[in-house]
Amino acid sequence: MTPTEPAAPVATAPVAAVRPPLPVKMVIAGGFGVGKTTAVGSISEIEPLTTEAAITEVAAGVDDLSHTPSKTTTTVAMDFGCITIDPTLKLYLFGTPGQERFGFMWDDIVEGAVGGLVIVDTRRLDDCYAAVDYFEHRQIPFAVAVNAFDGKVEHTLEEVRWALDVAERVPLIVFDARERGSVRDALLVVLELALERTGG
């Protein structure tokens, strides 16, 4: 699947042999306005870019996998940024809309992701259920990060954990999407979890 061009004469191919970095992808999920783009922008080395992604929209109330849900394709904006780890490795952060109506179907974006960070606004917990469910079902390492708007969180972490019904093994943290160090630490929580899964 990875075609390699036969070596062209060096004189005419000064840039053809550029070996791209290995991409490592993380997904930042959460409802609209929860701070995904802010978080990506706080740590990305480029201004967050936006592209349109097709997301398969699943009809509401589809817990019963035995019947086929009706699906339609919705186009949504996906914001993303990146961090160069070294010349051979690059971390990509993809922000994906995560409300209920997008169901389980971000496979197009999430396939191959090292992990996910679900950003939560405690005033609108409903917006992140779908993301939490998705990562749990797909067994993708993830953490839940409560975005402390203005440094305030309306509920304790215990209350949030109870309300979202996330397992104890899922890290639940408070962070500030505007602070680079805070976003960095949130991403590290997810990466450490992914590393644990490798047994390494």
Partner 1 sequence: MPDGSPPPDGPEPVGPAPAVRPFLVTAGRVAPTASGRPVPVETQVVATAEGLAELDDLTFEQHDIVAACRQPQSVAELAARLRLHLNVVRVLAEDLRAAGLLVVHVPDTGIIHDATVLRRVIDALRAIPDSRGVLRDSD
Give the integer Cα–Cα distance in Å for 200 and 193: 10
23 counts as binding partner 1 under rule CB under 8 A: yes
Among 56, 62, 83, 104, binds partner 1 (CB under 8 A): 83
Nearer to partner 1, 13 or 156 (CB): 13
Question: Does 16 contact partner 1 by CB under 8 A?
Answer: yes
Contacts of 90 (CB under 8 A, 6+ apart): 21, 22, 23, 24, 82, 83, 84
Find the binding residues for partner 1 in span 100-139 (CB under 8 A).
101, 108-109, 111-114, 124
Q: By CB under 8 A, is residue 170 in contact with partner 1? A: no
Binding range to partner 1, per CB under 8 A, among 73-81, 129-137, 143-151, 157-165: 73-81
Residue 166 and residue 140 in contact, taking contact as beta carbons nearer than 8 Å: no
Q: Tell me how far apart the alpha carbons of residues 158 and 151 are, in angstroms, rounded to a whole number.
A: 18
The string of DSSP letters for 142-179 reads EEEEEE-BTTB-SS-HHHHHHHHT--TTS-EEEE-TT-
20 part of the interface to partner 1, by CB under 8 A: yes
Please pick, from the candidates 28, 131, 177, 194, the single residue that binds partner 1 as defined by CB under 8 A: 194
Least distance between partner 1 and beta carbon 99 (Å): 9
Nearer to partner 1, 111 or 165 (CB): 111
Give the max Cα distance, the chain.
Answer: 65
Nearest of 76, 186, 178 to residue 142 by alpha carbon: 186
For residue 183, the minimal CB distance to partner 1 (Å) is 9
> Could you tell me which residues are beta bridge partners of residue 170?
none
Q: Which of 19, 67, 152, 169 is close enough to bind partner 1 by CB under 8 A?
A: 19
Size of the site for partner 1 (CB under 8 A): 71
Binding to partner 1 by residue 158, rule CB under 8 A?
no
